[in-house]
């Protein structure tokens, strides 16, 4: 939320798009509401469960007159990333999420865990379990590597200039 506000200083309203069936959705929503309050932003929350249709939800987001959209990352939302990008471009609405694939599929920006690094750690855990370690004996780990990915091609298409101070922090820029 802070990166979004920094990239778009005139930001006032943000649409949140989330899968309510994702286990982390409620904690992400609480954190987003807290950050929005601190930044003076208004949030509107849109649920998109796996039984719902994206085509029914996107018009409601367009009607909300939000300045940007935050998509909570999960496997379901990432399967829709390209379609969300098409909607965002058509409506000139910057869309961000937490996994790099979202920016790779045409959305403006992502900040979140480096999934490749997380998968490597997962392989380490599988190896330990296959060698006899009880899963309950392995510590829970949080991601260690995070990445900021900015899609400048998308920024240009929707008429946004990413400030140099935000661009300088990007781990990867898509041109």
Q: How far apart are CA 21 and CA 97, in angstroms?
A: 17
Q: What are the strands, taking DSSP E only, across 124-175?
A: 146-151, 172-174
Average pLDDT, the chain: 96
pLDDT at 50: 85
pLDDT at 105: 97
Instruction: Determine contact, residues 84/93, Cβ cutoff 8 Å.
Output: no
107 and 34, same domain (yes or no): yes
Tens-digit pLDDT profile for residues 64-73: 999 999 999 9
The helix, strand and coil proportions of the chain, stated in percent and rounded to the nearest 5, come to 45, 20, 35
Tell whether the model's pLDDT for residue 104 goes beyond 90.
yes
Lowest-confidence pick of 24-28, 48-52, 66-70, 164-168: 48-52
pLDDT at 51: 82
69 and 44, same domain (yes or no): yes
Domains: count for the chain: 2
94 and 54, same domain (yes or no): yes
From residue 35, give the alpha-carbon distance in Å to each of 3, 18, 128, 131: 11, 17, 38, 43
The mean per-residue pLDDT over the stretch 48-69 comes to 93
| Percent of the chain at pLDDT exceeding 70 | 100
pLDDT at 166: 97
| Percent of the chain at pLDDT exceeding 90 | 93
27 and 14, same domain (yes or no): yes
53 and 121, same domain (yes or no): no
47 and 133, same domain (yes or no): no
The mean per-residue pLDDT over the stretch 82-106 comes to 97
The pTM (predicted TM-score) of the whole model is 0.90
Report the CATH number that the domain containing residue 155 is assigned in CATH. 3.40.50.2300
37 and 93, same domain (yes or no): yes
17 and 50, same domain (yes or no): yes
**Domain with 8 in it:** 2-113+146-174
16 and 90, same domain (yes or no): yes
96 and 158, same domain (yes or no): yes
61 and 34, same domain (yes or no): yes
85 and 154, same domain (yes or no): yes
Tell whether the model's pLDDT for residue 53 goes beyond 90.
no
Q: Which of 89, 71, 4, 92 is nearest to 41 (CA)?
A: 4
């Amino acid at each position: 939320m802070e990166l979004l506000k920094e990239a778009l200083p005139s930001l006032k309203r943000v649409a949140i798009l989330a899968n309510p069936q994702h286990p982390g959705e409620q904690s992400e929503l609480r954190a987003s509401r807290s950050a929005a309050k601190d930044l003076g932003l208004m949030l509107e929350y849109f649920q998109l469960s796996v039984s719902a249709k994206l085509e029914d939800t996107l018009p409601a987001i367009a009607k909300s007159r939000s300045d940007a959209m935050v998509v909570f990352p999960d496997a379901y939302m990432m399967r829709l990333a390209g379609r969300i990008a098409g909607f965002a471009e058509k409506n000139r609405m910057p869309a961000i999420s937490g996994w790099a694939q979202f920016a790779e599929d045409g959305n403006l920006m992502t900040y979140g865990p480096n999934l490749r690094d997380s998968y490597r750690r997962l392989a380490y855990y599988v190896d330990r379990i296959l060698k006899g370690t009880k899963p309950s004996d392995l510590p829970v780990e949080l991601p260690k590597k995070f990445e900021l990915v900015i899609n400048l091609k998308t920024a240009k298409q929707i008429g946004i200039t990413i400030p140099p101070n935000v661009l300088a922090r990007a781990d990867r820029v898509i041109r």
